[in-house]
Structure 1
């Protein structure tokens, strides 16, 4: 009897995994082998606003790739592992979608009985690019934008027992007008494999009938205040919002307001957030009416300030908490050989940030990509300032002489501009309350750059609490807070702005290909290439010493290219599979710490 039981158990286990295995023969991270298809990225996906009752919907879904224009789910092509994009190895599919096809997903789910007294929200962390969603055959909504979360109230269409969720995605990559970062249909050089479909966690949440929809948290260290704006699904002026602030389990401050008014909390004896001391306060936000608690969420906040100030030598410097700080970190693209845009596990997601701290940096430039919410929480907790790029990429409407445009090109230019503004606002809204975000970067190297002054001024007006770097290494205009230069391979200051902070937004790119850790054995490149770790480290130190001189001359920040190798690029400090650190870490850390403290 015991022997029969063991045979049945083995058969079940193998059957579960026979529906999924990584596709292709490219290199993979160590975390790829740790994936449990029944427990994929199980961590709470939105730590900036947390509730206890939620359900993860990641895992194996049915999928199909069908020509554009199909109006309903037809026939499954097999199983896909959500939330890994269809082009990735970890999806088990590894197929390019293309502009002429749509990607269909389907799965069944049940809603816990204890959720019956309120509403049920369906959340998507991110879907690239256009998503249409049905529950039980009823369309509940659509969303465009590949980098921001969205949700739907699905309460009215739910049934007892099994429910069916269907998602249709269209993503033309560089054949469309939408922001796409480094994705391209023909990957080569600095351009990488497309990412289509669901690529962040899908989840459900139980909320009361009257509930909190968003928090917008703004610290004011000069006024010793924390401002919390709380949005709800109903605008009832008799509702009361209360915010309590906790430090190590102890209540330290609180404030109240009526619904629609910001809660201003007076903070005493504040502890400032910085890379050296990333102190976070816990928040509890309560919505009540006539003394009855309607909804409550957990959050966190930090007291910190980003600004610029002229130093004693007349140089405009970046400041954190009213003190000069040289911000120094790597260009971080956030790509994975097995998951592309999606890290295999939460441990993997945090790994690059942890190593950035280990290397002695205090900042990361998140390059033309937006990460899942948990990535920013990791930065908040570890103490890393983030420069957040807009993942733009379409042709620039203002570069072209419109008299040469045909009608389709004019339409694309107009769509590109409208959509850019929509998605940029959504990204800022999404990331506003994360303390680590210090600089907004609307454009990179003139990729899709247009109306730079207008976009920079809008960004600064919309979020005056951060600095604006209008065009990192791009067409320069006298707007925003920063002049950003790119120079490869070594650092150089070929322009200087006496009215704004001057920074080196990219330099370096020292390459080292390592056998068994490269994406494509016959094609790899760096701006310069060396043969071993010592040579790479020596070159890095040489650039770092040059940078020290340029800090005195006027640079206020610098970004080294880059954290990891990415596809055929081999200029990372770490291999693409995250298995080898390619530099002498102690030497790297020592010189990086010296640079970060250069303005002390």
Structure 2
């Protein structure tokens, strides 16, 4: 099987930025809050010309004492990058709109044999990027990476003037759309780097295990490398620990290779083995750590390395509740995934958007399986072709960034989208696109359960296109009591693996009462006990669950003045990082499942 993601060399989203020659632009950035977008539009609401002196991407320094400047950057107004703006100053708590970021920096100029890019891990939501008064480009989408090449001659050795217009307004024709159930953290939320590469460089690559060889003594590692421009030469592939060093010839912009390997240790949650892989051409050299495993569906089971696996999951938002901020980087990933490991989970659903790059890398090292998702969420504009194209772009950017991560086993194309013809066409297009980009992983979406004449029914037409049937259900929280689980009847239209992608109940951490009292830890504990008993009675295609959610998180939709106050409190850890009683119910269930699958 050939991974079908290889891109045209004209699509220059650089992968494995941490493996390149980089200069970080993280740290303190000056800012201007611009709710009327004065720095972008003139008083006739027309986009300002590039050389407009009043445009906020141009210098704020007056030429002389008669010169009029109505904007200015100052160290009195500083925002940290990477980080959301909401958590850095109380005036930003509910702010949605434009903030201009400015960074002054020095740089080493590229040689004649080098190119230089500016790379953003993510900016929420729309970013316009300017360097020394020249626009480099625009990117839309709050959770995926992007980069722009800096034209030769524009970069200076000293006092470069980098400006980013960041706008996090929610819009009907964007992804996500107006209505979500999480905090709309604005800002430059992930790393910013200058990336220096050779003129001809490796823009993307894939190295993976052929499914057909998983049980063979001699396994097959297959892959491809795409260069940024048409070229020809020899590509060297090395895996030092396996004593592999081989070459492939590339023509045009692509090289493909296939290597026979003995004594390959497969990546598993129990033993997450990673190998150093080195790819080098005449001009470029990249190093990555890659795990080799296969994932597929056979009948009613999910097979990891051709063995059935039960997904002991939990959902995670990209948020650190104790600090009320967007999560980013390795330290935060270790906290969140460490909590999941403490729960006895072997899988996480990263909801409802692509999380920062460190999450999948840390999951690789810890042996945690990952569901990664784009924010096609609830009721986006499914009849709008432009919206579909935006969804496809975010899908491509997510997959391109992380398709070498062994931990990721599921690409999800959306969450809880309402069933109607336009929506199903839209979602089917995303499933087709995801398979075209990467046919080595499973494709799914979080569907909804509907009560039909007293029966919990799963018959969403999207289920015929996905590899597994994944559903969100809240029997006993949004309808009835947890005890309703005891007599629940289930009807599943599709003879595929059945995965419960969400279930949960809210509890205010530290609030204790009897189990009938909503919002109490005891009610949530009861809910989990009844849910788990119901799961144990599921048919034999039941392959796991990822309850909602690991940690309490911020949401403007949650406005009970006693038990919520802007928080969704369905977490198993509360706002201060304390475990709730339901944590131990799920932890014990997962320990029981783990013991049973080992015998």
- Once the 2 structures are TM-superposed, how far is the Cα of residue 455 of structure 1 from its aligned partner? 2.6
Q: State whether structure 2 residue 589 is matched by structure 1 residue 595.
A: no
Matches of residues 226-375 of structure 1 in structure 2 within 5 Å? 226-237=221-232, 239-247=233-241, 251-252=243-244, 254-259=246-251, 260-288=254-282, 294-310=283-299, 316-337=300-321, 342-343=326-327, 346-375=330-359
Question: Structure 1's 341 and 254: CA in aligned 2 closer, same or farther, altered over 3 A?
Answer: farther
What do residues 410-448 of structure 1 show as CA deviations (whole Å, max 9, x unaligned)? 7xx333223222222222222222111111221211169
> Which residue does the alignment assign to 2:387?
416
TM-score with structure 1 setting the length? 0.77
Q: State whether structure 2 residue 117 is matched by structure 1 residue 121.
A: yes
> Which residue does the alignment assign to 2:581?
583
Q: State whether structure 2 residue 360 is matched by structure 1 residue 376.
A: yes
Q: State whether structure 2 residue 51 is matched by structure 1 residue 65.
A: no
5+ residue gaps, structure 2? 1-13, 42-47, 49-54, 57-70, 214-218, 450-459, 477-481, 555-566
Q: State whether structure 2 residue 518 is matched by structure 1 residue 540.
A: no
Residues of 2 paired with 1:425 and 1:415: CA distance?
15
Of residues 163-172 and 555-564 in structure 1, the stretch that sits farther from structure 2 once superposed is 163-172
Could you say what secondary structure the match of 1:377 adopts? helix
> Which residue does the alignment assign to 1:456?
431
- Once the 2 structures are TM-superposed, how far is the Cα of residue 349 of structure 1 from its aligned partner? 2.5
> Which residue does the alignment assign to 1:425?
396
Could you say what secondary structure the match of 1:127 adopts? coil
Q: State whether structure 2 residue 537 is matched by structure 1 residue 549.
A: yes
What do residues 46-101 of structure 1 show as CA deviations (whole Å, max 9, x unaligned)? 99454363221111111112223334213237211112122x21367525453xx4
What do residues 365-399 of structure 1 show as CA deviations (whole Å, max 9, x unaligned)? 1111211111110111111111122212373445x
Matches of residues 414-493 of structure 1 in structure 2 within 5 Å? 414-446=385-417, 449-451=423-425, 452-473=427-448, 475-477=460-462, 478-488=464-474, 489=476
> Which residue does the alignment assign to 1:22?
none
TM-score with structure 2 setting the length? 0.77
- Once the 2 structures are TM-superposed, how far is the Cα of residue 342 of structure 1 from its aligned partner? 2.6
Matches of residues 394-405 of structure 1 in structure 2 within 5 Å? 395-397=379-381
1:284–1:298: 8 Å Cα contact kept in structure 2? yes
> Which residue does the alignment assign to 1:148?
144
Residues of 2 paired with 1:102 and 1:415: CA distance?
23
> Which residue does the alignment assign to 2:128?
132
Number of residue pairs matched by the alignment? 506
- Once the 2 structures are TM-superposed, how far is the Cα of residue 343 of structure 1 from its aligned partner? 1.8
- Once the 2 structures are TM-superposed, how far is the Cα of residue 500 of structure 1 from its aligned partner? 1.6
5+ residue gaps, structure 1? 1-45, 185-189, 289-293, 311-315, 399-409, 516-525
Could you say what secondary structure the match of 1:511 adopts? coil
Q: State whether structure 2 residue 461 is matched by structure 1 residue 499.
A: no
2:348–2:369: 8 Å Cα contact kept in structure 1? yes
Residues of 2 paired with 1:583 and 1:95: CA distance?
31
